[in-house]
Structure formats: C-alpha cells, structure tokens
Amino acid sequence: KELTTSAKKTKKNGDGKKNGDGNGNGNSTNNSNDALEFKPLTLKQIRTKIIKLKDRVPTVPPSGIDASDKEAVRLWASTMQAVIEEFNLLLCCVSAATYKWGTDRSGAADQNLGLLSSELGNAQDQITTSITPRLTNVLAPVVDLVNCETITTKDEKTGVETKVNKFRTEENDPAFVHLCRVILCRNAAMLRHVFLTNVNKIAQCVEDYLKATKKDGNNSRTFAY
C-alpha cells in the first residue's frame, strides 16, 4: 500500500482565535452541563447492567463455528471481546459505588467488602487467562510489513531514476494463526460457558453483598471499597 500525507491549514476567525467564546472555551458550557448531569452508577445498577450483558454474548451453532470461515470466526471473537470489555469496565465502577472512608466501616463491613473484592478479582482472572488470549490471537495476529512490488521509472531528459516501493502486511506465521482459529472454534462453547458462569457468579455476589450490608445496618450509608 502507498501512503500519502497531506498538510491542511485551519482557518481562524478574524480575531486570530478558534471558534468559541474568544478564549478557546467554546464548549465549556456543554462540558459543565455534562459534569452536572453525570451520576455514578450504584451497585444495583452495575449488577443490572452486568446481567444484561448475557443477552449480547454470541451464540455457538449446534455444528460449531467453521474454522475455515475467517470472517465468521473474527465476527464471533470481536463480539465476545466487546462484551468482555464492557464487563471489565462495569467492574471498575464497583470501587466508586462502594466507597466509604475506612474508619467509618464496621469490622463486618470490611469483611463483606473483602469477600466481594476477592470474587470480582477471581472472575476477572479466569476471563483474562482463559478467554482473552484466545480472542487476541485471532483478532490481532502478529504481522510483518513486506515489500511486495518495486516500480522503477527513469527521466529520459535527466537520466534520474525513481523507485517506488509498495508494501503490504502479511501474517507472520499463517499456520499458527490458523491453529488459533481452530482452537477458538473448538472451545467456543466452553469459552462462552465460562464467561456466562462468571457473570452469574458476580451477579449473585453483588446481591449477597447488598444483603449482608443491609444486615450489618449500613444500608442507609455509602458503601466502601
């Protein structure tokens, strides 16, 4: 592929400043409104969103996924990867949803929070070690930039030769990439099962944590993480 670069100039207003309020803050009002409208997710909201992710997990045909169909394999892997990314981001919101200064928590609250944190970490570890690498091997294989064609032209008047090299990306090890697709297709049903199992477990853990917190008398106060 040939790469072309171009330079563009940005036209400024007559006063030499970009569009805005004259101080480079054209979007300051909108940004302030967004900040005022923002509300962090509660633990119940996080749990609800995590449960809804199950509907977006890609299914596996009864006959399995055909490893020779590269597009179908990549589509399944990319869909699963997107769901896992949102799952991890939702877990990141748990810290803010359960925050409270340490000295304001009881011993039981500390223990409940420790159990929740342990289960969240365990779920992420299983997904990271068992699912993510298999998806990455298919979606982002190692590639090399190779010179596929060289065109030489010569100016008859000056005698100057000009060479134009065309490059393209090629898979570093096509056999390994194919093997990764085969492995992903062979284990697709179980990869899906592992993810859904951890989603169900996290939903149950959050529910148990909320019950334990209420029992401890902290239901009317902000949680801590």
Cα end-to-end span (Å), the chain: 51
Cα separation, 16 vs 11, in Å, equals 9
pLDDT of residue 35: 62
pLDDT of residue 9: 40
Cα separation, 60 vs 70, in Å, equals 15
pTM for this model (two decimals): 0.71
Cα separation, 107 vs 113, in Å, equals 10
The answer on pLDDT for 176 being more than 70 is yes
Give per-residue pLDDT as tens, 56-102. Answer: 999 999 999 999 999 999 999 999 999 999 999 999 999 888 887 76
Which burial class, exposed, middle or buried, applies to 203 when counting CB atoms under 10 A from its CB (0-12, 13-18, 19+)?
middle
Q: Is residue 115 within 8 Å of residue 61, measured between CB atoms?
A: no
% of the chain residues with pLDDT over 70? 77
